[in-house]
Chains A and B, each alone.
Chain A
Amino acid sequence: MTATQDRPATEIGKDRRRKEDQRLITGRTRWTDNITLPGMLHMAMVRSPFAHATITSIDTEAAKASTNVVAVLSGKDFGDELGVCINAWPITPDQKTPGHSPMPADRVAFAGEIVAVVVARTAAEARDAAELVDVEYDELPAVVGIKKALTDEVLAHPDLGTNKSALWVFDSAEAGTGTDVEAAIATARTDGIVIERDYRQQRLIPAFMEPRSVVVDPTGEQITMWSATQIPHILRFALAATTGVPESKIRVIAPDVGGGFGGKLQATPEEWIAWAVARRLSRPVKYTETRSESLMAAHHGRDQVQTLTLAADKEGKVTALRVHLDADLGAYIALVGGGVPVLGAFMFNAIYKFPAYRFECQTVLTNTTFTDAYRGAGRPEATYAIERLMDELAAEVGVDPLEIRERNWIKHEEFPFTTVAGLEYDSGNYEAATALAKESFGYDALRAEQKERRDRGDRVQLGIGVSTFTEMCGLAPSRVLGSLDYGAGGWEHASVRMLATGKVEVVTGTSAHGQGHETAFSQIVADRLGVPFEDVEVLHGDTQVAHRGLDTYGSRSLVVGGEALVQAVDKVIDKARHLASHLLEASQDDLDYADGKFTVRGTDQGVAIQELATATFTGHNYPDDMELSIDAEATYDPVNFNYPHGTHLCAMEVDTETGAVKMRKYTCCDDIGNIINPLIVAGQVHGGLVQGIAQALWEEAVHDEAGTLVSGSFVDYLLPTAADTISFDVQHTQEPSVCTTNTLGTKGVGEAGTIASTPAVVNAVVDAVRHLGINDIQMPCTPERVWRAIEDSRAGGATETPPDAMPHFAEGEANQDSTDGAGQ
C-alpha cells in the first residue's frame, strides 16, 4: 500500500488513455443483443405500414401455427399491465396530449407503430411468423408536415379536435428581464434595420450505431431489464409508475451501450412490450431492432419552422429579437417531446446583449414518427437561427461577421451577466476564444483569398462561416426544472466505497454510453483522494448497483455527476480524518491530508487512506464515537446551468457551376472551463462537429405525403463517412473561463460541437455565393439546392430553396409543406 508514491503529480488535465478501450478493441463487449439467457425467447414486431389507420382485425392463426412460435399478442390481449409511454414534460397546463399505448389496439398514428408482437424460440422464426400476421386496416387521412398540421384540416388524432398541442411563450417585458419587442421592432422599421427570415430545421435521425435492444428476465425476485438505453434510472421509475410493478421489484441495467446522442433518452414502446410479454409468459425475452426499424420507429430529432425578426440600429447594434417556432412532435408527445424546443427558448439571444426578446413555440402533432432529444436538443436550433441572423445583419450593415458580433456580445469584464432570457451567465471570454480561433484558422489570409477569387471570377468560390455559440448545459437545477413543469429533477448522485484491499469503487448515477466516464471519473478521484488512477473502479448503469441517479444527457455527467463525486470523496476524507486521528493519536487539527495520506504536522508520522480502509475492514481499533466505515455518498443539485462557449470558423469551397460544396478548413476554439481529459474532450468535439456538419450538408429524414418514411435505411439516410469529412483544428483558450458554480470549474462539452457547427457551415456556404445575390440556402445544403440557388439568382429570381430535395417542406415556394418529389 505504498502505491501512492507512484502516482503522477496530477491526473486532472492529463490525456489518459481510456480504461474502457481494452474490452472494446478486443470484442469482449456486453451489448444488450449479446445477452443470452436459458430458455430465452425472441420477439419480432408487426408494424403498421400506414401512417394513420383504424385496426379492424388482426388474424394471428397462421403465425401461431408456425414452428417454434410461442405466442402472438396484440394490444387487445393486454390490459393495464402493458402500461403507457409517458410524456414527462407537459410544457403548458393545457397541453393537448394524445394517449400513447406501446401497442394500440384500435388505431395507429404513424407508419412503423407496433400492432402485434410475435414470440418464438429464435429471432429468425419470430420474424418469419411476423410476416404471417394478417392485419386489416381502414386507412384514415394522415397529416404530414408542420404547415398542413397547423390548418387542422386533417387531424393526427381526431379525438383531440386539433393538431395544436401547446403554445409556450416567454416575453422579456412580461418577465421583467427586458423591454418590449414590438416597440423596438417598430422603431427599427423607421430608423434602423429589421431582418426577417424563415429558417427550417429539418427532421434528423439520431442514428446511434448500436440498434436498440432489450432483454427482460422475469425469473427471480426482481424483474430485470437490460436495455440499450441512456436512462436506466428513469426507465425503472417509469416502469413502476405505469405498469404497477413496485419499483423495488425492478432492476434496469444499461450494459455496454453503443451511442445515444439523445436517441436513447426515451421510454420506448419496444421496452414496454418486452416487459409485458416477459411477465405474461414468465420467460426471458429479447428484442433487437433492425436498422430499418430503428430509423422508422426510434424517435427523430429537430423538425422546426423558425419565423424570426431581428431588429438593430443603423450601426448594427441589436435592439430586439422575436422568435416564433412551430415544432413537429410527430404522432405522440415523447418522453421530453415538447420540452426540446423549449430548451432553446433561453438561447436564441445567445452571447448578445438584446434589450428585448420574445419567444413563442407552437408544438403540433402529425402522423409521423415522434420526435424528441437529439444531440443539443433545442440549443442547436436556437444557435443556428441567431448565428445565421448575425451574418445577415453583418451583410446588411456591410461589416465583417466577426465585427458585428463583437459590437453586440457580452464583454469578458461584464460577467456575471443576466441575459434578456433571465439566465445568469457566470463566466466567459468571447474575445479570447475568437482571437485564438482567428489566428489558428488564418482568417485574414482566407478572407484575402476569398476576395482574390471573387475578383478573378473563379468558378470555385470560397466562403467563410462564423459561429460564436454559447449554450446552457449540465441539466439541471432541480428547482428550475420544477418551474418549467418538468417531471423530474436534475441532481446527481455518487458514492465511494473504500475496499479492504485499498482499492476504490466509485458508483455514479450517470450512465455512460461512449463518453469515457470510467476514465475521466477515475482521474477526478485519483487527484481528489490521492490514490492511483488504476486503483479506481467506476461502476454505473445498473439500478441495483447505482441505486440513485438521473443518467446521461444534456452534457450533464461531468458537471453534475462529477461534482457529486467530488462531494462524496470529500466526505470520505472527513470520515477518514477521524479514524486517522485515533490511530495516530493526534488531534484532527494537527493532521494534513495530501497524496492519499494523513500526516501529523511537524512529525514523520502518517497513515495512508488505504490503510484506513483496511482498518475499517478489520475493525480492530477505531474510536468509540465512529461508525465503522469511511464510505460516503453525496447528492448534488446544481445551482445554475453552465455556459460553455466558443468561436467556430469554417471555410467552404463552392463550385458555382455544379453546386458541389467542399470543406476546406474547420477551426474551433471552445472555452469549456477546466478540462479533465483533453483526449476525451477532443473526441467529443470531433464527433459533435460532424453531427452538426451533417445537418448542414447531408442528413434529412423525409416522409412522403402518405406519411411513409422514404429515408428509412442507411442507403437513403446519409450518415457521413470518413471520405466525406476532414480533420479538424480544435483549440482551447490558455486561460479558460472556469465555471464558478462547481468545484472542478468544468463546463459541459458533449453537445458543443453539434450546437456550434451547423450555422458555421451554412454561413460559409452562403458567404461563398452571397455576391451572387443569395442570402439563404435551406439545409441540408445539397449540391442541387446550391446549384438551383445560383441558377435562380442568375436568372434574376428570388433565392428560394428548391423543393426537390426537401419534399414535405416546399411546394412551389420555400417554407411550405409538400411532399412533391419525395423519394425521387
Chain B
Amino acid sequence: MTKIQLTVDGASVSDDVEPRMLLVQYLREKLGKTGTVIGCDTSNCGACTVHLDGTSVKSCNVLAVQADGRTVTTIEGLADTAEGELHPVQESFRECHGLQCGFCTPGMIMQAVDLLGENPNPTEEEVRLGMEGNLCRCTGYHNIVKSVLHAAEGAKA
C-alpha cells in the first residue's frame, strides 16, 4: 500500500492504495466518483476521461499513485451542479442533443473542454480529430461534433 494525497474536484483527499490501482478505480471505488465510468480495458474508448492538472487523460491509463500531489477534475467537479449552473460544454451537449444513453458523455465532455482550451475556435475537422479518442455508439458523432462547435460559438459570443 502506498499513501497518496491529491485534490479531486476541489476537495483534498488521501488514501492508502495498492500501487497497481488505476486512477479510475480510485475515483470510483475509493471516492465514489461514479460519474466517471469504465468502458473498455484497452484505453480505446475514453469513457473514463478526466483532467489531471488541467489536461485530459484517460484515467484507466494512469495509476492512482501517479496522481499523488496533483489535481484531478472529473465530470462531477466540472460545474457546481448543486447550483444547477452547468459548464458551457455541458450545456452545449444538452442543447445540441449530443448524448443518448449518456455512458460516453462524461468522457466526451471532459475531452471537449480540453480540446476547446487548446483550440477555442476549431473547424469541424479539428473537432473530429480532437475527439477521435472517445468512442460513442449512440449518436453517430453528428451531434457530439455539433455540441463542441456550438460551445466554441457560445464562448465567442
Contact = CB atoms under 8 A, between A and B. Distances in A.
B141 A690 contact: yes
Given A21-B93, A514-B101, A722-B132, A27 B137 contact: no
A34 B97 contact: no
A761 to B, nearest CB: 13
From B101, B134, B140, B145, name the one whose CB has the most chain A CB atoms within 10 angstroms. B140
Contacts of B4: none
Contacts of B29: 122
A17 B101 contact: no
Contacts of B132: 721-723
Given A211-B39, A727-B142, A291 B45 contact: yes
A209 B97 contact: no
A261 B140 CA distance: 13
A715 B42 contact: yes
Interface string B44-88: 110100000000000000000000000000111011010000100
A24 B142 contact: no
A514 B35 contact: no
Nearest to B99: A24
A728 interface: yes
A29 B40 CA distance: 18
A33 B48 CA distance: 14
Contacts, number: 178
Contacts of A723: 128-129, 131-132
Given A683-B138, A683-B143, A722-B131, A257 B76 contact: no
Contacts of A514: 100-102, 138
B90 A25 contact: yes
B23 interface: no
A514 B103 CA distance: 9
A18 B97 contact: yes
Contacts of B2: none
Interface residues of B, number: 58
A748 to B, nearest CB: 16
A711 to B, nearest CB: 12
A529 interface: no
Interface in B120-157: 124, 127-129, 131-146
Nearest to A717: B44
Contacts of A160: none
B118 interface: no
A210 B100 contact: no
Contacts of B39: 209-211, 291
B135 A209 contact: yes
Contacts of B144: 722
Contacts of A753: 140
B127 to A, nearest CB: 7
Contacts of B8: none
B101 A27 contact: no
The interface centre, meaning the residue of A259, A515, A679, A680 with most chain B CB atoms within 10 A of its CB, is: A259
B97 A25 contact: no
Interface in A650-697: 679-680, 682-683, 686-691
B94 A22 contact: yes
Contacts of A686: 139-143
Nearest to A26: B81
Interface of A: 17-18, 20-29, 31, 33-34, 122, 124, 207-211, 256-259, 261, 290-292, 513-516, 679-680, 682-683, 686-691, 713-715, 719-723, 725, 727-728, 753
18 contacts: A17-B95, A25-B102, A27-B34, A27-B36, A27-B76, A28-B81, A209-B45, A209-B101, A261-B137, A683-B138, A686-B143, A687-B139, A719-B44, A719-B137, A722-B131, A723-B131, A725-B140, A725-B142
